[in-house]
Chain A
Amino acid sequence: MMLTREQISDGLKRARYVTNERVETAIFLALALEKPLLIEGPAGAGKTEVAKVIAEILHTELIRLQCYEGLDEARALYEWNYQKQLLRMQAGEQQGLRWEELSEHIFSRDYLLERPLLKAITAPSRVVLLIDEIDKADEEFEAFLLELLSDFQITVSELGTLKAHERPAVILTSNRARELSEALRRRCLHLFIDFPGAEQERKIIELKVPELDAKLAAEAARFVSAIRKLGLRKPPSIAETLDWAHALVRLGVRELDTDAVRTALGVLLKHEDDRAKVESKASALAPRTR
């Protein structure tokens, strides 16, 4: 199914993902050119969300591979189901099967445990494959991904090369915990997602927390976008902004003054020194002071 640029735009709106030209174009290209899309940006700017939204637009399954240090092929690609193989061998012995017959059985697809990558490749229809936080995986794993990303095929030594029927839409995300290799970057389209500006964040808040008063939403968005510029240890993510907006609703805050800012700051800031920093400047930052 080939989507037009406008369909992507509509789809994103329907999936309630507030975005801009840059993001839309990158998503469209990734789908149109069937290329993997590498998304970078600060934590909590909505990178992973993109993959979920694409799956929603394409009405398909999202297969997620969470990367971590020490992730290896057995966890990412496939593993033989040893228990099942052993049982089969014992059963085979009793039937008096020869090794040749037996090995044909136990090294077939029935005995393969599919891990996310293999699952995405062998899926009968187009799926979305999210390789999350690729920067956390080891460099060896990154190199191993190259075959998958350029040819959409995977080699299983006992079975041969498996090629994708339908190329999955691949999304990789990275937080820049380490520099990714040039080879990987070359194979992907690139998209950088930064924190939204105040205006865009207001739209997000209004969309996701409709209970919050519109004026308050605008003030909250401006406040968050101001404290992100303070150089905090961990600037608040969009999800945290939304939590905060929910908190403001629950607390029945009518006006965003200094006190209101102070009461619910723990939702927004997760480090004590960040909190101290913002509190010391709360009176200057809060839209309304008493």
Chain B
Amino acid sequence: MARLRDQLVRFIAALRAAGVRISVAESIDAMNAVAAVGLERARMHEALAAALIKDEADRATFDESFNRFFAAPRANRGEHPEQRGEQVSAGAGRDRPGEEPFALPRDDALANPRDEKSLSLASEAKPAKKAAAARRQDTEKGKDAEESKDGQRHSDRMRGRQEHRAADTPEESPTPGIDATRVARIRAIERMPFDKFSDLDYDEARDALAPLIRRFRIRLGRRLRLARTGRIDFRRTIRAALQRGGALIDLNFRARRPRHVDLVILADISGSVRYAAQLMLELMAGARGCFRRVSSFVYVDHLAEADFEDGHLVMTPALDLYARSDFGRVLGELWERRTGLLTRGTIVVIMGDGRNNRLPARADLVREIVRACRAVVWLNPEDPARWGTGDSAIKQYAREVNAIVPSRNLRELQVALAAIA
């Protein structure tokens, strides 16, 4: 049993290396789980999954590692002198009675079940290489393999494989569900840096945005609802007190009014940071109700009002997306429109990389704006290592604003925005 324990420990280590988070308590659970269900392969598979995998998105990784570590038991495999030699040298606990041994990692166990289809296609296409390929392959049909010299062995193995697969796959369960793959995709896209985005990724990120917006809104809203101070709601308090014989035990408070925060968002939609800016605008559009007023602007070389209609960015006036960005001029335009827009209750959120094509940076205007407003926060989708290189004027702006936060992917963006609000 000690061997199995070691094998399990190695298996868990491999999962951790593959990025699955597993605590010590969970690994103990896994041992207990195996002790409870026994060593029958399919059951052990599900038992380990239940104890170790807490996120369906990790399931594919788990299945792949499991197949690599715990190959099918020998009873289901064809017995061959050559193979036996291999297995003895592999040293599975063969002579221990009552224990169904596992073989150690083997070539064929490494084959990812997902690849099977492509592999079998390949084998049909190149019959000449078939004999050599047969050792590594795991094809479902063995009819042409029988013609070759080691065909018998191959088909034997095949039968064993099929049996084990039949036992392993009760009906149609193991393929991760639609929901799981979606969750995995959302997780991946949340961590993907904006500068690696393509149009396709952007579309996918927009899909992922819907649950994010909901979560974001709930997060902002809850703080307002869970008011423990403020004005007492007299009616509700008295009603609650009536139940308790008139003793004012619980005070009920009026929900806090939305904070007097006006948000002015300024987003660069030139090529370099387009995706980040659009996603941010959409995220904030969803959380509009949590602020008193939100004004969104986009800019390249001019300022334009932005709005979201049915998920499409609408700007007035239209901007030339391929113009050279000029944030200095944009700041000037914003400053001209300051009356009624920039007040003591305004938080200005600027999203951009501060790459100004070596045009005047006008950092002095940023200082003026900081003075007029409650705060100015700069979100930079660029890697901090590249700030201030080349035509980036971000260092000049950074000195003036209240905070500058890197937001390289959706996750960081969310955290940054929640902190502002």
Give me the interface of A with B, judged by CB distance under 8 Å: 5, 20-22, 24-26, 28-30, 32-33, 35, 37-38, 40-42, 69-70, 82-83, 86, 138, 176-178, 182, 185-192, 194-195, 197, 199-200, 228-229
- Which residues of B280-296 have CB atoms within 8 Å of chain A's CB atoms? none
Alpha-carbon distance between A33 and B47 when the two chains are bound, in angstroms: 11
User: Which residue of A32, A40, A86, A191 contacts B36 across the interface (Cβ within 8 Å)?
Assistant: A32
Verify A178–B54 contact, CB threshold 8 A. no
Verify B173–A22 contact, CB threshold 8 A. yes
Alpha-carbon distance between A182 and B245 when the two chains are bound, in angstroms: 43
Q: Interface SS of chain B: helix, strand, loop or mixed?
A: helix
Verify A178–B179 contact, CB threshold 8 A. no
Verify B49–A28 contact, CB threshold 8 A. no
A30–chain B nearest beta-carbon distance, Å: 8
Give me the interface of B with A, judged by CB distance under 8 Å: 21, 23, 25-26, 29, 32-33, 36-38, 42-43, 46-47, 49-51, 53-56, 59, 170-173, 176-180, 183, 214-215, 218, 222, 225, 243-245, 247, 249
Verify B178–A228 contact, CB threshold 8 A. yes
Which B residues are in CB contact (< 8 Å) with A5?
37-38, 43
Verify B170–A186 contact, CB threshold 8 A. no
Alpha-carbon distance between A185 and B33 when the two chains are bound, in angstroms: 16
Q: What are 9 A-B interface contacts by the 8 Å CB criterion?
A: A24-B46, A40-B56, A41-B177, A86-B245, A185-B55, A186-B23, A189-B33, A195-B177, A229-B178
Verify A188–B244 contact, CB threshold 8 A. no
Which A residues are in CB contact (< 8 Å) with B46?
21-22, 24-26
Which A residues are in CB contact (< 8 Å) with B177?
41-42, 192, 194-195
Using known A-B contacts A21-B46, A41-B177, A229-B178, determine if residue A28 contacts B36 with beta carbons closer than 8 Å: yes
Alpha-carbon distance between A189 and B54 when the two chains are bound, in angstroms: 7
B72–chain A nearest beta-carbon distance, Å: 16
Verify B54–A38 contact, CB threshold 8 A. yes
Verify B249–A82 contact, CB threshold 8 A. yes
A2–chain B nearest beta-carbon distance, Å: 10
User: Which residue of A22, A41, A178 contacts B49 across the interface (Cβ within 8 Å)?
Assistant: A22
**A40 to B, closest residue via Cβ:** B56
Alpha-carbon distance between A191 and B52 when the two chains are bound, in angstroms: 10
Alpha-carbon distance between A108 and B368 when the two chains are bound, in angstroms: 65
Using known A-B contacts A22-B173, A192-B56, determine if residue A29 contacts B215 with beta carbons closer than 8 Å: no
Which A residues are in CB contact (< 8 Å) with B247?
82, 86
Verify A200–B243 contact, CB threshold 8 A. no
B414–chain A nearest beta-carbon distance, Å: 12
Alpha-carbon distance between A49 and B211 when the two chains are bound, in angstroms: 26
User: Which residue of A24, A138, A190 contacts B222 across the interface (Cβ within 8 Å)?
Assistant: A138
Using known A-B contacts A194-B179, A200-B171, determine if residue A86 contacts B244 with beta carbons closer than 8 Å: yes
Alpha-carbon distance between A191 and B36 when the two chains are bound, in angstroms: 17
Verify A190–B37 contact, CB threshold 8 A. no
Alpha-carbon distance between A179 and B187 when the two chains are bound, in angstroms: 11
Alpha-carbon distance between A22 and B46 when the two chains are bound, in angstroms: 5
Which A residues are in CB contact (< 8 Å) with B55?
185, 190
Q: With A21-B173, A192-B177 given, can you name 11 additional A-B contacts, CB distance below 8 Å?
A: A5-B38, A21-B170, A22-B46, A33-B36, A42-B178, A176-B179, A182-B21, A189-B33, A192-B180, A194-B177, A228-B178
Verify B178–A192 contact, CB threshold 8 A. no
B367–chain A nearest beta-carbon distance, Å: 39
Verify B172–A197 contact, CB threshold 8 A. yes
Which B residues are in CB contact (< 8 Å) with A29?
33, 36-37, 47, 50-51
Which A residues are in CB contact (< 8 Å) with B56?
40, 192
